[in-house]
Amino acid sequence: MSHFSDVVVTGVGPVAAIGIGIDDFWASLIAGRRSVGTLDRRDDGGPKPPADWQNQPLAGAWIGAPIVGFDGAQFVRPRKAMKVMGRELQTAFAAAFLAMEQAEMENAISGGAVQVDRIATVFGSQMFYGPIEELRDAVQRSRDPEGNYQVSLFGDAAMREIIPLWMLKYLPNMPACHVGISVGATGANNTIVSGDVSSTSALIESLGVLARGIADIVICGGSGTLIDATRMVYRGDHPFPSVADPIEYSSRPHSVDSCGVVGGEAAAAVVLETADKARLRGASPLAAIAGAASRFAAVAPGQRGSSRSIQLAIEGALAQAKLSADDIGLVISNATGDPIRDAAERDALDRTLPSASVVMPVGSMGHVGAANGAIYLVIAVLAIQHNLIPPSFLNGQPFANWQHRFADSCRPLNKQAVAVLTHTSHGVANAVILRAAD
């Protein structure tokens, strides 16, 4: 039985608004590219803003960070699976494809170095809703002669107007299933749906899978969106942002003038394996998992997020990694632009990691739902690989005594340990610490 600290990352795959694939993604990240803008750029068939969107109430609903130019057919295998894969499933598959490609898994499987019954797939996910147009005709058929919608008529209408396999396109567990099917993996196949901590919880579950010895390799990732048409309607869990000038600065995590959450979409994946297995098959470790912890603390009435749970998660991850605060050179922050939740994170970081630099990916590519943690993990691995801290993406005025944490340009990563934070408004917090591989 291995220990989680024996786990290394051998492949990463980002699919995000700033770039698809390692090279484009990293180049955009270190160049400080921001992908937030009006949703009229989207090409996924989703709703676009009207001409007078800036004069409408809640105009911030019409800004976001869509992935433009994504074609799932470039990645999905077998191609026929496309008909039962919604957009978030396709982006998840693409991310896993890219991560497996870097990890050279196809050669390892075909050459016998990796057995498919020793491959597991664990993903973080969320509710996927799909385009409104797919249900429109069934809803129209559910009206009575007076034009009123009748629930009792929907069943028959749905049988006529909705393809039988429709639901398979949007089940939260299908990203992990499709990835596993594509390589014939018969190991553990799990999905965790827990909001912002979904992907990091999937990572912690993956570490458990490897530690229990029931797999040698885990394909771990996450897919999410806050700009799906139906998800945009349900925004009660996130305050709406105001529109900044320029628009690409509208996502303002940890900023004095932050006021709301800008949505985006993304998927990311990492290939995890025991260090011994990676060594035996000649894989090159990109980074190692040093520690991970998940904690919960009750949220005070009227608050969102728990400073206490974030603090406990950081302390737990540091203890497992046998590291101190001085060993952490970078924090990948889960600051979202929600001023209440961001304040909880600042308080926790002041108590635990008072001198670490901070990067806020949400400022670059928006809040990407369940994919947040997966994208953060990819950034952490790439930062370690390149010994470089990307720009902070503050997009506004820093709080007092926090100026030292931020920079608009790249900096050297002088300490080879990076902390990844995710947390929810309900008081769950995860911390993962990565370090350079031996």
pLDDT of residue 2: 46
Q: CB–CB of 95/267 below 8 Å?
A: yes
Residue 285 forms part of a structural domain: no
Q: What's the CATH number where 299 sits?
A: 3.40.47.10
Q: If you search the block for the tokens 């699919």, which residue do you land on?
A: 15
pLDDT of residue 240: 86
Q: CB–CB of 296/277 below 8 Å?
A: no
Q: CB–CB of 345/338 below 8 Å?
A: no
Q: What is the pLDDT along the chain (438 residues), one digit of tens a residue?
A: 345 568 999 999 999 999 999 999 999 999 999 999 999 999 998 889 999 999 998 899 899 999 999 999 999 998 999 999 999 999 999 999 999 999 999 999 999 999 999 999 999 999 998 888 888 898 899 999 999 999 999 999 888 898 888 999 999 999 999 999 999 999 999 999 999 999 999 999 999 999 999 999 999 999 999 998 777 666 567 888 999 999 999 999 999 999 899 999 999 999 999 999 999 999 999 999 999 999 999 998 989 999 999 999 999 999 999 999 999 999 999 999 999 999 999 999 999 999 999 999 999 999 999 999 999 999 999 999 999 999 999 999 999 999 999 999 999 999 989 999 999 999 999 999 999 998
Give me the chain's average pLDDT, please: 95
Note whether 262 and 344 are same-domain residues. no
Note whether 194 and 311 are same-domain residues. no
Note whether 173 and 95 are same-domain residues. yes
Residue 282 CB neighbours (<10 A): 10
∠ CA 280-283-286 to the nearest 5 degrees? Answer: 130
Peptide bond into 390 cis (omega under 30): no
Note whether 267 and 299 are same-domain residues. no
pLDDT, tens digit, 9 for 90 and up, residues 101-158 = 999 999 999 999 999 999 999 999 999 988 888 888 988 999 999 999 999 999 998 8
Distances (CA, A) of 275 to 3, 212, 272, 319: 10, 15, 9, 21
pLDDT of residue 234: 65
pLDDT of residue 229: 75
Question: Which domain-ending residue is among 280, 312, 346?
Answer: 280
Minimal CA–CA distance to 21: which of 71, 65, 63?
A: 71
Residue 81 forms part of a structural domain: yes
- Model pTM? 0.96
pLDDT, tens digit, 9 for 90 and up, residues 308-348 = 999 999 999 999 999 999 999 999 999 999 999 999 999 99
Residue 139 forms part of a structural domain: no
pLDDT of residue 163: 86
Residue 48 forms part of a structural domain: yes
Distances (CA, A) of 44 to 95, 138, 197, 354: 18, 22, 26, 42
Q: CB–CB of 389/412 below 8 Å?
A: yes
Note whether 123 and 202 are same-domain residues. yes
Packed helices 22-30 and 372-386: angle between N→C axes, nearest 10 degrees: 80
Residue 286 forms part of a structural domain: no
Q: Which amino acid is at 160?
A: R
CA pseudo-torsion sign 415, 391, 102, 419: positive
pLDDT of residue 25: 98
Question: Which domain-ending residue is among 225, 253, 280?
Answer: 280
What is the distance between the alpha carbons of residues 285 and 135, in angstroms, rounded to a whole number? 46
Which helix (H) or strand (E) segment is 432 a member of? strand 428-435
Question: Which range marks the domain in which residue 316 is found?
Answer: 291-435
59: helix, strand or coil:
helix
∠ CA 420-424-426 to the nearest 5 degrees? Answer: 150
Peptide bond into 50 cis (omega under 30): no
